[in-house]
Structure formats: C-alpha cells, structure tokens
Structure 1
Amino acid sequence: MLALVVVGGVLYVTTPWAPKIEVVEPGPGGERVTDDGMLANHYPAEGAGPHSAVLLIGGSEGGLNPFMDEMAREIRDAGHTTLVLSYWGAEDQPERMEELPLESFTTALDWLSAHPEVDPERIGMLGVSKGGEATLLMASRDPRIRAAVGYVPSHVVWPGIDMRHPWKMMGMGSTWSEGGQPVPFLPYTDEFRGGTTAEFYQMSLDTLPQHPEAEIPVEESEAGMLLVCGEDDTLWPGCPMARAAQERSETHDGPVIEVLAYPDAGHLISGPPITAQEAEDRKLTQMGGTPQGIAAARTDAWPKVLDFLDAELG
C-alpha cells in the first residue's frame, strides 16, 4: 500500500512509466547557457545594469519546462535578470531526484554573481515544490541569496523521487547532497494505510521529533522569504510546512518569513494570473483546489511575489 501511495503521488506530471521531460528553447530575449556544465535559459533585464537577478528552479517535473520559463520571462519583464535552471532529468543529467548536488545551484549563483550586468549584492531565488525545498536549503546556506520565494515548499528535506521508475522509490536516500554527502532527510513513515499523498506526508512529518536534523535551518538565512501555498493541496501539506518554516524562523530570531495561504487552491498555483477556465483546461485541480480558487490565488499572489522581489532586491 505504501509504495502505491508514493508512486501515485509522483505520477501527476507523467505518462505512466514514461515521463516526458521537457527542455524548452529560450523565449524572446533569452539565451541558452551551458557554461560550467549548466543547462539554463538566461533572460537579461533591459537597460543599463547592473541589475538584480533571480535564479528559478522547478521541482519533480525536471528539465526546463514551459511554466518555469514563463515565470522567468515575467520576472525579467518586471526588471530583474533571470536564470531558469535545469538540474535533473535533461540529457546527461541525473535520471532521478536522489542525492542531487546542491553545488548545481551554487554554480548557477556563481554565474549570476560574475555576470557583468548583475549586481552580486541583489540576487534572489525562486523555487516550486521540490524546488521550493531546495530554495529554503540554499537560502540557509548561501548568504548571497537576499530574497527567497517558495511556492508550495517544504521545511524539511525528504527522500528522493524516481520519476522514470517510481516503483523503485521506496528506500531511496536523500533528495540532496552537499560535498558528496547526503543531506539529512526525514524518512517516509511505514505506518500509512491509505488516503491522499498529503496525508501520507503529514503522517511522516509527525515523526520529525525523531529526525530533527532533517529540518531546514531557515533561521540561518540572510534572505527575507515569501512562501505561497494552497490549503487544499492534496500532494503534500504545503501550508503546514510553510507555517512551520515561519514559526522556526520566528523562534530562532531568523529572517521575516511571510506566508500567503489560499483556502481553495491546491499544489499547482505557481505563476502569473490565469482565468478559472484556463485552470480547468490545464487540469490544475488534479492536486487540489477549484478552478476559481486556483485562479484567485494566482491573481492575488503573483503581484505580491513581484513586489516582494522589488522590495528585497531593490
């Protein structure tokens, strides 16, 4: 039963047993970056620099997918140079999310910091889902990150995900590594007997007191944080995890963390505004929420994300 629950939860962006990993070409005004082993699309802000910059990363969909590329272009249009990075799933990259090196993100931050049109003192990071987990991890480790946005993030490190062979997922190690060593993670519970994957993750979170090393030390971040979540997320408990990060930072005198929580929205709420019909047509309710709730969440959250980046990065 447990294996079936986890397998079902990771198939939401796949055709069963044959996931499609997309690597989109750069859109208008963009360029492909392959320096230092990276695979990324770069969108320089218009006008004379140096500019603020934002590193964007997706989650378990892998590659360079269209919705992350769209967000990168929208943030570029708001005045920030952007770099949207593929860190797994593309050609010559790891085939599954296990012990992925955090150094991949460090390399991207190095590239942005060294770019002549970027102000290295004004760099932010935005991640979605597992990318939100990585964003909180990186913000707690790299002081160059001055603003962190996490859509439906996690405040703990979870085991890895194998999108191509999901039946092999049980027993996988940490999603992330650093210095060649796995980052401590929270194991999945073996007590679950049925329900949504969000309930499965929540039951696993109940064991966190036995694995405190899995919690991300957000209080060590130099970045202000904005976390966006849907209360009806059926993939994992994004809002409880966002609030847990907020509470930890407050308890340990860390940075201010603002949480935007939307009652009728699910997991797929990241990005610019869309209509309820678009949300329905794109099947964004498959992991919780209603078309109206998802549209309302995106309409409300997106300008707040842009305002946050403007305020934190100048």
Structure 2
Amino acid sequence: MLLQVLCDSIPEVLVRIAYGQLHHQPRLNFIPAEGILQRVQGVLEVSRCRHRLQNSDGVLQSFVNGDKGVQALVRHARVWRGGPSSSARYCRVRVEGLRSSGSGCGYGVDVEALRPVRPTGTGVLVLAGSSGRVDTDRARLLAAHGAHALPLQWFGGPGQPPGPWEIPLETFTSVLDHLAKEANFLSIVGVSFGAEAALVTASLDPRVRTVAAFAPSHVTWPGYDPDQRRWAAHWTWQGRPLPFVPIQRPPNPASIDGLSRYLPVYQASLEAASTTTLEQATIRVENIPEVLLVSGGDDQVWPSTDSARAIANRRAAHRLDTRHVHLPEGGHRTILPGERAPDGGHAMARGGNPKSDRVLGAMAWSQLTTALRLNERRH
C-alpha cells in the first residue's frame, strides 16, 4: 500500500512513504519540516516549504521517528510550497490501489483523502452525482472544519464502469474501511446520484452514523448503458443488481432554453411504477441513525423535494427524526458557503440560480455542521 501525502500549507509537509515490508496496513505519518531537516540533514538541502525536491535514486534513507518509534523507508521525499495560510488546515493523502474487502467489486479504487489538522473524529465519504467528478471542493470545506474527508470518483476512472450503472456498493464500503481507521464517526455526503448512493450504502452498512443527502432520491434508479443499449441498475450488492424503478419517457420531453429537463421523466416513471416495484426499489432509510436532506423546490433534474418528504415520512413511521432543509427557489445543485459554483457534467436544466443555490447552501450549512460534528470555525 502506498500513501502519497501532500501538504496544503506550512508548517507541516508531507512525504511519499512506501511502507512496503515494514507495514501491512496503510498508515499516515506526519513529519514536521524540522523533522525532515534533522533526519535527512546532509542528504538534501531543504528550504522549508519552498522547493520541490527529489534525490537522484529516489531513496533517501531509513529513519526512526523518535516520538512514536515508527521506522519507515522514505522514498521520493518532496516538499511542496504551502498554501496562503500560515497554519495547515488539512493535508491530502493518496491511497493507491485500495480494494474492496467484500464481493462484487472487481477493481481497485484510488482515493485521495483530506486529513484535518484539528480533527473532530468525523470521517466523511464525499460523493458527487452524474457528472462523474471528484467533489474535492466540498471535501476541502469539510476538512477545513475538522472532518477527515474523502472525495471519491465512483465511475469513469481506470478500471471502473464507464457510467453510473452496475456500481458495486462495495466501492463505497471499502473506502469506509479506510475511513474507519482514521475516524470514529462515519458519515457520507452525496448529491443527486451520489445522494442515492449515500443513502443506499448507509442503509446496508451499520457503521455509517449520518448521511447528508443533497437533492436526494427515495428510490433506486437505473443508468443507461449505451454500449449494451440497455437500462441497468445503478448499484449492485454482493454481486447482485439492486431493484430499481424503470425509466418511462413522457411523449413530449420538456426543455428549458434548449436544455433537457429530466424532471418529467422521473415523475412519469414513478407514476407508472407498480406498488410492488416501488416497494422493492425504496431505500431502507430507517436503517440509518441520522439523515439530513437538502432540496430545492425548483429542481428540474428529478423530484428531490418529493423524495425528501417520502424519506422523512418513512423514517417518521419508524419513529425517527429527519432534518430537511428546503428552499422553494433552490435548484439541483446547492452551493455551500465557501464553495465555488460547480461546473461540468451533462448539459441539462438544473433549476435554481447561483443566488438561490447559495442561499440554500447557507441554510443547510448550520445543519450540516451539526450533523457531521464539525468545528464551527475553519482551522
């Protein structure tokens, strides 16, 4: 297991450490700049956090961390320029080749975690939606407030399915395995398809304490595989596809300013589904201890507000409380304080506008910090 760590700002720097024969389990070791100077003095001339350096053969030396008695082989030690702050808020940790411990996941998962300097004990898996992007911006925000945040690309990467169909849920539980070694309070934050993934995964993995679902769905859906020309389940579990609500296209698809409006498609599909189909596809949200839902009433992608209410009602029937943050003018993409407006993804009508989406994000932020046990101030 190889961990590549890189620091966001001084005074801490991160090095690439190949534990190899010395450690069987991945570990993270922070080395202050002064520590590197003391341990490799004479090997490299290090100007603290101002140069990118690497020695010729790639191996510096073995060293012993006197504080923890940890011996490690340091390879390709590099020092990166720090960020604008004089105190580190988080550090990025790359875990290469992480594999699922469960069945049904036939490919490795490369992840990059953001480890806070002042952790709250919360580990959060961050999932974007159908864009396929890695939601690093949101993960940075959460890490700056104390969460060990891990944004994941869950399709479209090397060795992964090319689109959002037949994704093994073990993809997410394997990452939770890693987070569980760093934090004692596991959570998942997801948006759109990522919110669907978050809710389904948490309903099956009892380690997850909290889910924050932005633009959620109360049922599971399929994805369209263009190569096979078929609709396939979004998710599999232990090698078997999960039931889903079949897609029914309305006779006259709607559009806004030339952009496809998928809301009528999902509404028509829910209306056409039988009671049995809906029951089988409904996510067992009553298995999740805490749920925070965020929805915009102007969501033009799918009926996230109706889904949020269905989730809350199902949980209420099991005597479980649910937080639901809603803004009638909000769209599909909520923008939290400090986040940039997301770009990329498929060209489609999403509803809302940058102003209303930021208002919804401000409304959701206080609830999110409570749900995830975050620090109120950035560190």
In the superposition, the TM-score normalised over structure 1's length comes to 0.78
From 114, 132, 136, the counterpart of 1:69: 136
In the superposition, the TM-score normalised over structure 2's length comes to 0.65
Q: Is the CA contact (8 Å cut-off) linking 1:273 and 1:298 kept in structure 2?
A: no
Q: 1:161 to 1:77 in 2, by over 3 A?
A: farther
Q: Secondary structure at the residue paired with 1:125?
A: strand
Point out where structure 1 has 5 or more consecutive residues left out of the alignment. 1-24
- The structural deviation recorded for 1:189 is 1.7
From 128, 137, 159, the counterpart of 1:92: 159
Q: Secondary structure at the residue paired with 2:150?
A: strand
State how far apart, in whole Å, the 2-side matches of 1:70 and 1:182 are. 31
Q: Secondary structure at the residue paired with 2:233?
A: coil
| Percent identity of equivalent pairs | 32
Q: Is the CA contact (8 Å cut-off) linking 1:160 and 1:169 kept in structure 2?
A: no
Q: 1:22 aligns to what?
A: none
- The structural deviation recorded for 1:151 is 0.6
From 41, 55, 63, the counterpart of 2:112: 41
From 94, 98, 113, the counterpart of 1:32: 94
- The structural deviation recorded for 1:298 is 1.6
State how far apart, in whole Å, the 2-side matches of 1:144 and 1:216 are. 17
Q: 230-239 or 202-211, which moves further after superposition?
A: 202-211
Q: Is the CA contact (8 Å cut-off) linking 1:128 and 1:270 kept in structure 2?
A: no
Q: Secondary structure at the residue paired with 1:287?
A: coil
Q: 1:299 to 1:233 in 2, by over 3 A?
A: same
From 179, 183, 205, the counterpart of 1:118: 183
State how far apart, in whole Å, the 2-side matches of 1:190 and 1:280 are. 28
Moved over 4 A (4+): 278-286
From 138, 141, 149, the counterpart of 2:204: 141
State how far apart, in whole Å, the 1-side matches of 2:369 and 2:242 are. 31
Q: Are positions 1:155 and 2:222 aligned together?
A: no
From 305, 308, 312, the counterpart of 1:239: 305
Of Structure 1 and Structure 2, which has the larger fraction of its residues in strand? Answer: 2
Q: 1:169 to 1:131 in 2, by over 3 A?
A: farther
Give the number of aligned pairs: 270
Q: Secondary structure at the residue paired with 1:172?
A: strand
From 324, 331, 337, the counterpart of 1:272: 337
Q: Are positions 1:184 and 2:243 aligned together?
A: yes
Q: 2:63 aligns to what?
A: none
Q: Is the CA contact (8 Å cut-off) linking 2:190 and 2:197 kept in structure 1?
A: yes
Q: 2:121 aligns to what?
A: 51
> Higher RCO, 1 or 2 (CA under 8 Å, sep at least 6)?
1
Of Structure 1 and Structure 2, which has the larger fraction of its residues in helix? Answer: 1
Q: 1:300 aligns to what?
A: 363
Q: Secondary structure at the residue paired with 1:105?
A: helix
Superposed CA RMSD in Å reads 2.7
Q: Is the CA contact (8 Å cut-off) linking 1:174 and 1:183 kept in structure 2?
A: yes
State how far apart, in whole Å, the 2-side matches of 1:158 and 1:30 are. 33
- The structural deviation recorded for 1:175 is 0.6
State how far apart, in whole Å, the 2-side matches of 1:304 and 1:108 are. 25
Q: 1:242 to 1:73 in 2, by over 3 A?
A: same
Q: Is the CA contact (8 Å cut-off) linking 1:26 and 1:42 kept in structure 2?
A: no
